Amino acid sequence: MFKKSVLTGAALLLIGCLTACGATANSQPAGGQSAGGPAQSQPVAAAKTEVVIAIDSEPESGFDPTVGWGHGATPLIQSTLVAYTPDRQFENDLATGYTLSDDGLEWRFTLRQDAFFTDGTPVTAADVAFTFVTAKASRSTLDLTGLLSCEAVGDTEVVFTLAKPASTFLHTLATIGIVPQHAYDENYGSAPIGSGPWKLVQWHRGEQVILEANEDYYGTAPAIKKATLVFMDETAAFAAAQAGQVDVALTSATLATQAISGMRLQAVTTLDNRGITLPTTPATGQTTDSGHPVGNNVTCHLAIRQALATGIDRAQIAQDALNGYADPAYSENDGMPWNNPAVQIETDAEKARQLLADAGWADTDGDGVVEKGGLQAAFTCIYPAGDSVRQAVAMAAAQQARALGIAITVEGVSWNELSQRMFSDAVLMGWGSSNPMTSYYLYHSTGALQDDYYNPEGYQNPTADAYLDAALNATTPEAANAQWQLAQWNGETGTAMQGDCPWVWLVNVQHLYYVRGGLDIGAQQLHPHGASWPLLQNLEDWTWS
């Protein structure tokens, strides 16, 4: 959905000009002497109302929610029917309420009547219906195949009809911004009109986006009146922060050890996880539909997978690989309401060695690697070359694994090669989603070995499938959460590491930002995968002191 973009020389010059002309958030009325002579009095500095933010990506297809913009986060420019609270519950946004039929198939929403697009046109049920019909037809990053219809009933009521119950539907509604039917065309993504707290007033592709507060927003108007989002990689962002040209700069764990005058380092807790996928079936000559080899004769052994999960010290990996800017990870959804607290396990290297010994793995030749039936506990873990974080995490995990008697060779490969080898090799993967549907995709047997990144390890468990299906078919988030948790661990089996352990979860990387003194970026929600746009989910709450 996003692409990296190094800031061009023109954009750097533009920032420099903005700074020199006093147009950035750092500018203040000058005190002291003026060009005409000594000042007679010191004026009171006006409150800052602008901010310049360095982020590392921009939406390839523009700011159009029907083709991907805002999915998994807050679309900023457009409103949504419902919104996330900081603790990932739901609250009304455009909607004032909804009802759900007993069979879980019909969702009926009523709309507020004080919402207007920035061209002055009221937001109606017809706009909502148009948005979802258009989004489904686009076949973009959001799966709306289960939506049979979306129809307006008058101006203030909209009815969604689903093919089957979907407890995750509110999550879908919380991330699809509503577009105006009357002003939508193929160029909408470049010059969007919305009813959210922000207006897009300028977009120089590859350089920057300028947002202004929507003063007619039906909610609380942002205290920040202008936000300039400059696209640059972490190295360029660090240099711009040092030069005082930006107020917020995304940074990495390796750069974050350096102090920048006038700025603080702010770490945000995430569920942006890194872990190792481990093929759960032996190599028998089977291939995927595309002909890629399936299975691994070492990782198919549960004792190998569980020994790694139990014996690896996640806190030590966070310290060694990421300078401490990470937290231990135990699942794909740590900290979410649907996560089972029982998935957290204690590091115990001796227990890990005992698991191996009990399963018949022993170092009989004294080379430090256990073997069983002539098979050494040795395999390759691949990661996308150029990703220094994944490389560092994989290397740290491999070092600890060797102390358990398991030899892991770490290898960087292209994404193309990774997509072909991930069904037979372990992979240092990254996930992190605020939607529990991710758990369904990661573990349900219908997704196993389907030439995508969700279940390349070929994991299948009928008991987990039943819980996942029950979670998806539940009619309330509370009922669904109970089933998601049982799919992870019911006391005997599940997707968790003390269960079938198709993943060895390692760390949730912290998202790191240099933030100008005096700027409050509000209470950040738990960030999903990706460090740029999740930061801005609460941009309307940011303030200068």
Segment 42-71, tens digit of pLDDT: 333 346 899 999 998 888 889 999 998 877
Residues in contact with 285: Cβ distance below 8 Å, sequence separation at least 6, in sequence order = none
pLDDT digits over 502-521, tens only?
Answer: 999 999 999 999 999 999 99
| pLDDT > 70? residue 34 | no
| Residue 362 in tokens | 């022993």
Q: For residue 230, how many other CB atoms are within 10 A of its CB?
A: 27
d(CA 511, CA 45): 33
The domains found in the chain, sorted by start residue, are 1-26+46-67+196-269+511-545 (3.40.190.10), 78-188 (3.40.190.10), 273-509 (3.10.105.10)
Burial class (CB in 10 A: 0-12, 13-18, 19+), 293: middle
pLDDT digits over 293-335, tens only?
Answer: 999 999 999 999 999 999 999 999 999 999 999 999 999 999 8
- Between 7 and 409, where is the model more confident? 409
The 10 Å CB-count burial string (b at 16+, else e) for 459-480 is: bbbebbbebbbbbbebbebeeb
CB 311 within 8 A of CB 353: yes
Q: For residue 364, how many other CB atoms are within 10 A of its CB?
A: 10
What mean pLDDT comes out for the span 11-26?
38
| Residue 117 in tokens | 């697009």
Phi/psi for 307 (5° steps) reads -65, -40
pLDDT digits over 75-132, tens only?
Answer: 999 999 999 887 778 999 999 999 999 999 999 999 999 999 999 999 999 999 999 9
Supply the mean pLDDT for the chain.
89
| 265, 268, 539 from 517: Cα distances, Å | 10, 17, 17
pLDDT digits over 220-249, tens only?
Answer: 889 999 999 999 998 999 999 999 999 999
Amino acid code (one letter) for 118: T
CB 74 within 8 A of CB 83: yes
d(CA 360, CA 371): 8
What mean pLDDT comes out for the span 336-361?
97
Strands 426-431 and 208-213: unpaired
In this prediction, residue 528 carries a pLDDT of: 84
In this prediction, residue 41 carries a pLDDT of: 36
| Residue 85 in tokens | 């609270």
| 286, 291, 449, 453 from 420: Cα distances, Å | 13, 9, 11, 10
What mean pLDDT comes out for the span 169-196?
94
| pLDDT > 80? residue 484 | yes
pLDDT digits over 371-412, tens only?
Answer: 999 999 999 999 999 898 999 999 999 999 999 999 999 999
In this prediction, residue 150 carries a pLDDT of: 96
d(CA 292, CA 541): 48
| pLDDT > 50? residue 427 | yes
511-516, strands of its sheet edge to edge: 198-204, 208-213, 226-231, 50-55, 248-251, 511-516, 263-268
Strands 378-384 and 426-431: parallel
CB 278 within 8 A of CB 305: yes
Residue 508 parent element (H or E): strand 503-509
